[in-house]
Amino acid sequence: MAGSYNRVILVGNLTRDPEIKYTQSGKGVTKFSLAVNNPRNKEETTFVDIVAWDKLGETCNKYLKKGSNTLVEGRLVIRSYDDKDGNKRKATEVVIDNMQMLGSRPDGAGSGDYAGGGSSSYGGGSAPSGGGGNDFQDTLDDEIPF
């Protein structure tokens, strides 16, 4: 029997600021939407709902803003639910396990305020830790060519 593979990689701009909520067990879940343009047809844009859990979701909520150019990687999920009127609905979303901020720092971001940049990525559901100091930010500053 042939295997199966469910992997999605998208690059686009956030259509709104991420929104974080917490489950009853305390797990953070962040949702946002990406606008992904079709390179062959500039007038065609696909809007994709994105879901990030735990520390990755907290990182997305902290550093991403409306308009941020972002690469996300995850799996396609189609789930069914009942709306408030009892009607059956389906939701299609990408549950991510990796996120990379593209572009430059937002205006007014200080050196300790933003961990983004051209090569910043977060995956595996956790944000990078710099030990006792700000080693991650120092490394990031060395990689940014401006």
pTM: 0.70
* Higher per-residue pLDDT: 107 or 104: 104
Structure confidence at residue 107 (pLDDT): 55
Token pair 């639910």 is found at 81
Report the mean per-residue pLDDT for the chain: 80
- Top-confidence range, 12-26, 102-116, 125-139: 12-26
Residues 8-20, mean pLDDT to the nearest whole number: 97
Question: pLDDT grade, residue 124 (50/70/90)?
Answer: low
* 53 and 95 Cβ atoms separated by less than 8 Å: yes
